[in-house]
């Protein structure tokens, strides 16, 4: 079984400032790691994922996340946020070998970008 | 958006009544999922399906049942709704069958049980 902890439930940040959202996971097996974003009144969308290879993964809209196996973390960062980044962000993991592609989500971090 | 629709989008019901939520996809993906979203808990898996008439339980399946008689439709039923089932319900599909594949989510159904 896996568990995911997002250490901050809310993160207020000013426009053009950097932001970091923390995610730690616990698992007895190897996992794949995902960040999803939920804009207001919408469903979730994949932001980025780590499967293998380089531990730094990037999204098309300027976010990046780094997989740290020793610290079992997958923190999400953006060097300069925009108003449009206001959303809730979810970290999730899936078991390498389990059937069904089931995701375990963290509790979410709500990012509010202020002008 | 992988062609996922959910109906109804909003529903208010009373304790003890049965409720059925529908998820419809247009692309014949094999895997479909029902999650509930609650503050502080993120999304939790209720049930999932890996084909017509093939379903399995997730983390929070008590009080819920599902059916999948056609590839494109996945129904979630609350046999006797309780206030603890007030939540936002999301359907998702997986574009593949492995743990590397992306899940795509529907717009959600907000259910209130009075």
Give the model confidence (pLDDT) of B16-74 as tens digits.
Answer: 999 999 999 998 899 999 999 998 889 999 999 999 999 999 999 999 999 999 999 99
Residue B7 near residue B24, CB atoms below 8 Å: yes
The per-residue pLDDT for range B77-89, each reduced to its tens digit, is 999 999 999 999 9
Q: Does A44 touch chain B (CB under 8 A)?
A: yes
Judged against a pLDDT cut of 70, whether residue B11 lies above it is answered with yes
Q: Which of B61, B93, B92 is nearest to B77 (CA)?
A: B61
pLDDT for the residue numbered B1: 55
Pairing mode, strands A109-114 and A10-14 = parallel
Query: In B, which residues are within 8 Å of A32 by CB distance?
Result: 99-100
Percent of chain A topping pLDDT 70? 100
DSSP string for residues in chain A: -EEEEES-SEEEEETTS-EEE-EEEEESS-EEEEEEEE-TTS-EEEEEEE-SS-SEEE-TTS-EEEEETTTTEEEEEESS--GGG-EEEEEEEEESS-TT--EEE---EEEEEE-
Query: pLDDT-based confidence at A98, cuts 50/70/90?
Result: confident
Q: What is each CA distance from B12 to B66, B85, B87, B102, B114, in whole angstroms?
A: 20, 11, 11, 31, 7
Indicate the range of A102-111, B82-91, B96-105 predicted with least confidence.
B96-105
Task: Nearest by CB to B99, from A9, A45, A96: name it.
Answer: A96
For chain B, the helix, strand and coil percentages under 3-state DSSP, each to the nearest 5: 5, 60, 40
The per-residue pLDDT for range A24-43, each reduced to its tens digit, is 999 888 889 999 999 998 89
pLDDT for the residue numbered B112: 97
Query: pLDDT-based confidence at A89, cuts 50/70/90?
Result: very high
Query: In A, which residues are within 8 Å of B106 by CB distance?
Result: 43
pLDDT for the residue numbered B2: 66
């Amino acid at each position: 079984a896996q568990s995911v902890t997002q250490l901050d439930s809310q993160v207020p940040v000013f426009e053009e400032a950097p932001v970091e959202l923390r995610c730690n996971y616990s698992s007895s097996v190897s996992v794949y790691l995902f960040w999803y974003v939920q804009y207001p009144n919408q469903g979730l969308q994949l932001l980025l994922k780590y499967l293998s290879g380089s531990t730094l993964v990037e999204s098309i809209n300027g976010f990046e996340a780094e997989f740290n196996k020793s610290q079992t973390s997958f923190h999400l960062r953006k060097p300069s946020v925009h108003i449009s980044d206001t959303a809730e962000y979810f970290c999730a993991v899936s078991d390498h070998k389990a059937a069904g592609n089931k995701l375990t989500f963290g509790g979410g971090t709500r990012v509010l970008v202020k002008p | 958006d992988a062609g996922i629709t959910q109906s109804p989008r909003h529903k208010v019901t009373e304790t003890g009544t049965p409720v059925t939520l529908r998820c419809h996809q247009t692309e014949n993906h094999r895997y479909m999922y029902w999650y509930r979203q609650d503050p502080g808990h993120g999304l939790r898996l209720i049930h999932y399906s890996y084909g017509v008439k093939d379903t399995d339980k997730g983390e929070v399946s008590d009080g819920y049942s599902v059916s999948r008689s056609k590839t494109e439709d996945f129904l979630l039923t609350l046999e006797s709704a309780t206030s603890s089932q007030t939540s936002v319900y999301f359907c998702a599909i997986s574009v593949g069958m492995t743990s590397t594949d992306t899940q795509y989510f529907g717009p959600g159904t907000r259910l209130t049980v009075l």
